[in-house]
Structure 1
Amino acid sequence: MFKKIYLILSGGLDSSFCCLLTRKIGLLIKCYYIIAWYNKFCNNIRNIKYIFSILKILRLKIYFLYFKNIFYQRIYLNLIKKYKIGGSFIPDTKCNYYVKFFYFLNKKKKIVTGHYSSISNYNKSIYLKSSKDLKKNQVYFLSNLSNFDLNFVIFPVSSFFKKEVFILSKFMNFESIKRKSSKGICFIEKKNFKFFLTNKILKKKNIINLFSVGEKYLNNTYIYKKKINNIFLTYTNTTLLFIKIIYLTNFNIIGILNLNNKYNFYTKNSGKNYICYLNILNSKLISINSIFPIKKINFGQQIIIEYNNKIIGCGYLYPFF
């Protein structure tokens, strides 16, 4: 039994609502705000203002953690490295793990966050599952957590719809209802990610690196294959652009793999699930054999594997397909 719960506040509506819930059921909580970056897009001052207004109502204190060096080394530099060689990098998932979770999980602390995700027990194993509100489902960004990590995490908003959270927070006079939902990456202005990559990272050179397999490039050419520092083009929109076998590395297995099962997989931007079979090639590589061909993929992309609405694991697209 944990004597104290550690709550990660962002200044947003969902983490504020978690603070209310944990307080109402009588848990002893200690609230933290994490500062990982400093620039005009981070809104640390605005976030802290909302946090103070909530904690005043609930009579709680706030503690600060400064993780700028970790964020710079683990997130920012890796993002630059991946895009310069033509790959992809999803900073949200890495930030959740290395910045928001790692400090507490490394100390085996029980933590509460405002993510829309749920945890279930099945056959003596712990799984990540979608939240009640499928429109706000955030399991994709939590899939780097291990089976062991899930023993130390609580997601209170998993049983609420976003609309319900808003109504109840409004009833409590939480100022955070005025705060717009955060989108994009904290060190880049909203909706300007591609501009940032084009002008700040690639310096307006090798813009082709930002395109995925299957996408149209210039002068009616299409990208049909990508490897590290190598991109292959074709002039026709043919079956070359569709892929049925892809490979994953750095695989994080949360559930139990049964290679006889059919699984579903998806990426952050795929918009749908694909049916597939899995095959373990060696200790570092897993192949995904998709029933239907796919396109618009890129090495470094994170792939999520599901079975019966439970997250089995995630991996990163290997640079040959």
Structure 2
Amino acid sequence: MSQRVVLGLSGGVDSAVAAYLLKKQGYEVICVFMRNWDSSLNNDILGNPNNDASVCPQEQDYNDACKVAEHLGLEIRRVDFIKEYWDSVFTYFLEEYAKGRTPNPDILCNKHIKFKAFLDYAKKIDADYIATGHYARVEHHEGEDSVMLRGVDNNKDQTYFLCQLAQFQLKEALFPIGELTKPEVRKIAEELDLPVAHKKDSTGICFIGERDFKEFLKNYIPAKPGKIVNYENKEVIGEHQGIMYYTIGQRKGLNIGGKGGPWFVIGKEYDDNILYVAQGDSNDWLLSDEALITDVNWISSKKVEGDFDCTAKFRYRQKDNDVSIRFIDDTTIYVTFKKPVKAVTPGQAAVFYDGDVCLGGGTIEKVYKDNKEIEYL
């Protein structure tokens, strides 16, 4: 009897090819379109005061997913995780932005929705595994830990967003396209004449999609304009639209031109609603050499002891940084950088690697330079 796999079919090309590969490998595949954002229920469930009917363009994605399932001769179901998404992902997302930090909702979305609520649903229908179209790899070992590896395509590797998966989640997961590059995935889709073969990749917030982010966020957190201040002389040089919209190191969108080179964000004062900027060599302002990482998820059941050399990414698509890590307690890591790193930002994720193995990750809590904390907030 073939093993049953429940696949998250998003309406994109990656999960479509994943569905084909699973079927080809002999699995019994059930496709599930996860419905996690419903604008028609905003007032009752999500509390959106503006009841913005354009919040989620999911219907087209669902229609595309149905076409793919029909094309491949697979069953598809539509399952709601709206409340789970709001409670476990979006509320935290809003809370962090309201504090002036810039969280990564995709990491929480994977932890709580795609590999928790979705996994729970799959177990209810007696699935052996769940699968997604992530560019990542997993090795399952009988009686031992499962291991997560980077996807073969370095440009598309998504293990950064999967760093919060625990063993119970990873052991039940399959990543069918992890051994492929994006061009290879596109080629398979074209050869199969899949309806989404040429559909562009989504780059929006997990499950919410692509939209004017500032306008979207205003539905939930009122914009609060404030002063843009030159940190060196404390002179007011402009007005920001709300410090939640800016990230450390940001250069574009400040609208404060002038002599002396481009301006860039170096800090935020939340209580007084001030955005600090500077000019000149950004290395002087943005480099750090140590960081404190909290809420750490360590994928292996065995934590490293003492100082351990590995690499780290402090934002997606960043090159690997050589670091040394040391556990302070079960969920806190102190990181020492072998070379200073630019714009390591509180609220964002730090993800650790040993070669191709993703070790886990956590939230950047504090950043240091020359043994002094950098007051980004």
TM bucket by the smaller chain? Answer: 0.7 to 0.9
* Unaligned runs of at least 5 residues, structure 2: 40-53, 227-241, 368-372
Q: Give the % identical residues.
A: 24
Match of 2:363 in 1: 316
The correspondence for 2:134, drawn from 115, 137, 140, is 115
More divergent stretch after superposition (68-77 vs 109-118): 68-77
Q: CA separation in 2, counterparts of 1:312 and 1:161? A: 22
Structure 1 length as normaliser, TM-score? 0.87
Task: Report how far residue 201 of structure 1 moved.
Answer: 2.8
CA contact (8 A) 1:214 1:242 kept: no
CA contact (8 A) 2:347 2:364 kept: yes
Q: Quick one: which amino acid aligns to residue 82 of structure 1?
A: E
CA contact (8 A) 2:311 2:320 kept: yes
Q: CA separation in 1, counterparts of 2:269 and 2:332? A: 16
Match of 2:310 in 1: 263
More divergent stretch after superposition (69-78 vs 85-94): 69-78
What is the SS of the residue equivalent to 2:350?
strand
Match of 1:276 in 2: 323
The correspondence for 1:296, drawn from 343, 346, 366, is 343
Match of 1:55 in 2: 69
Provide the aligned C-alpha RMSD in A.
3.1
CA contact (8 A) 2:135 2:156 kept: yes
Q: Quick one: which amino acid aligns to residue 203 of structure 1?
A: A
**Equivalences for 1:190-229 in 2 at 5 Å?**
190=210, 192-194=212-214, 196-197=216-217, 201-206=221-226, 207-213=242-248, 229=271
* Unaligned runs of at least 5 residues, structure 1: none
Match of 1:136 in 2: 156
More divergent stretch after superposition (189-198 vs 85-94): 189-198
Q: CA separation in 2, counterparts of 1:53 and 1:247? A: 47
**Equivalences for 1:71-82 in 2 at 5 Å?**
71-82=85-96
1:239 to 1:186, Cα distance in 2 relative to 1, 3 A? closer
CA contact (8 A) 1:114 1:155 kept: yes
More divergent stretch after superposition (1-10 vs 189-198): 189-198
Task: Report how far residue 269 of structure 1 moved.
Answer: 4.3
More divergent stretch after superposition (309-318 vs 17-26): 17-26
Q: Which whole-Å deviations, capped at 9, do the CAs of 1:276-321 have from their partners, x for residues lacking one?
A: 1112223442111111112323221111001122111100011464
Match of 1:24 in 2: 24
Task: Report how far residue 200 of structure 1 moved.
Answer: 5.9
Q: CA separation in 1, counterparts of 2:156 and 2:317? A: 16
1:82 to 1:56, Cα distance in 2 relative to 1, 3 A? same
Q: CA separation in 2, counterparts of 1:199 and 1:48? A: 25
Return the structure number with greater relative CO, CA threshold 8 A, min gap 6.
1
> Which has a greater percent of helix?
1
More divergent stretch after superposition (197-206 vs 29-38): 197-206
CA contact (8 A) 2:106 2:206 kept: no
What is the SS of the residue equivalent to 1:178?
coil
**Alignment pair present for 1:96 and 2:115:** no
CA contact (8 A) 1:257 1:312 kept: no
1:242 to 1:183, Cα distance in 2 relative to 1, 3 A? same
CA contact (8 A) 2:6 2:130 kept: yes
Q: CA separation in 2, counterparts of 1:202 and 1:137? A: 35
CA contact (8 A) 1:35 1:66 kept: yes
**Alignment pair present for 1:244 and 2:293:** no
CA contact (8 A) 2:293 2:366 kept: no
1:257 to 1:105, Cα distance in 2 relative to 1, 3 A? farther
**Alignment pair present for 1:65 and 2:84:** no
More divergent stretch after superposition (205-214 vs 53-62): 205-214
Match of 1:12 in 2: 12
